[in-house]
Amino acid sequence: MANLKNTLDIQKSEGLHPIWTYYMYSTNIYNVFRRLLRTFLITNKEFSLTPVEDRPEIDLLMETMTFAYPTPKTTIMSEFSYEQLLINMFHRVFNFYNNPNLKYPRSSTFNSKFKTILENALLNIAQAIWSKGSTFQILTDPAALSENLNDLKSMLLSSEVNSIDWLNRYWVNVFERFFAILDNRKLMREKFGIVEIGRDKILIALGGRFGVPVPRDVLYRFDLAKYLSTFLVKVEKTDWDIASAELLYSSDNFFKLLFSAYNIIEKRDFKREVQFIVPRGQIQNR
């Protein structure tokens, strides 16, 4: 395996991990489109679409609204929204959104050690990658990495049961519908007057247009979603041993991109940590 990025098709919806959904949700894109679609329903102050010239765009917005902001179809589902179920998924699988003041249906079972085990594995890989050029010490421990990856795999697979897969696929489709609107040049440029290029910049501008804050680091959230999803799908689909774990050390470019985005979003700089372990001047500065 020369390059981990090439082992999985990260663009296919069925291959996207719940971690991808988490970082998409963290951009506040859901609330941006809630405000946009609410405006579309009740006023023409911000933009106007005509039934003759703009029928495809009207249909796109109506279909997105129906799919992404549905009315629960069962009495059980009516107890909580799809968004509350999404936050429940993040808590169960990753122990995110564990603030007791947040209101959503809570599970008594959740992966309290997810982030710790994930970061232990990432630090192990970072040490191996950035100590390669050291004349002092090569920091590789594939046995420990294999153990971390097996723990991570077991933890994730045991929690991604019951409705989790269905819920994640539903939300992936929701976000992909939002992206279809962001990519609609006629809506963005002609109707909303947004001239920015790139989904990240368009989303920030759209949030500003409708008064919904969007984090300025949204591009890094998109990147981190993609790279962590690829990595965690790989973790779940591999039978890890020392040899397979050691192969990850050869995927320098993939993990350096992941670490860069992780540093921006999660505020943990694995490269800097490795530099404190390996004597300064003895590490590859790549």
For residue 60, give every residue at least 6 positions away whose Cβ sits within 8 Å of its Cβ, in sequence order, or none.
Answer: 180, 181, 184, 187
Does residue 285 fall inside a structural domain?
Answer: no
Percent of the chain at pLDDT above 90?
Answer: 72
Radius of gyration of the chain, Cα coordinates, nearest whole angstrom: 21
Does residue 283 fall inside a structural domain?
Answer: no
pLDDT confidence bin for 46, thresholds 50/70/90:
confident
Does residue 104 fall inside a structural domain?
Answer: yes
Does residue 284 fall inside a structural domain?
Answer: no
For residue 166, give every residue at least 6 positions away whose Cβ sits within 8 Å of its Cβ, in sequence order, or none.
Answer: none
- Of 47-51, 78-82, 185-189, the poorest mean pLDDT is in 78-82
Contact 4/254 with Cβ under 8 angstroms? yes
The CA dihedral of 10, 14, 18, 19, to the nearest 10 degrees, is 0
Q: What is the DSSP string of 47-93?
A: ----TTTTHHHHHHHHHHHHHHSPPPSSTTGGGS-HHHHHHHHHHHH
Domain range spanning residue 134? 4-277
Structure token pair of residue 274: 């490795």
The amino acid at residue 102 is L
User: Which is higher by pLDDT, 45 or 244?
Assistant: 244
Most confidently predicted of 39-43, 84-88, 260-264: 260-264
Look at the chain and report how many structural domains it folds into.
1
pLDDT score at 161: 85
pLDDT confidence bin for 137, thresholds 50/70/90:
low
CA distance to 132, 137, 169, 249, per residue, from 286 (Å) = 11, 17, 37, 15
Report whether pLDDT(38) > 60. Answer: yes
Does residue 286 fall inside a structural domain?
Answer: no
pLDDT score at 278: 61
Does residue 95 fall inside a structural domain?
Answer: yes
In eight-state DSSP terms, residue 8 is S
pTM here is: 0.89
Does residue 165 fall inside a structural domain?
Answer: yes
Contact 139/274 with Cβ under 8 angstroms? yes
The tens digit of pLDDT for each residue in 62-84 reads 999 999 999 878 888 778 889 99
The tens digit of pLDDT for each residue in 146-168 reads 999 999 999 999 999 888 999 99
* Phi/psi at 124 (5° precision): -60, -45
Mean pLDDT, rounded, of the chain: 88
The tens digit of pLDDT for each residue in 200-257 reads 999 999 999 999 999 999 999 999 999 999 999 999 999 999 999 999 999 999 999 9
Q: What is the residue whose two structure tokens read 């007057």?
A: 193
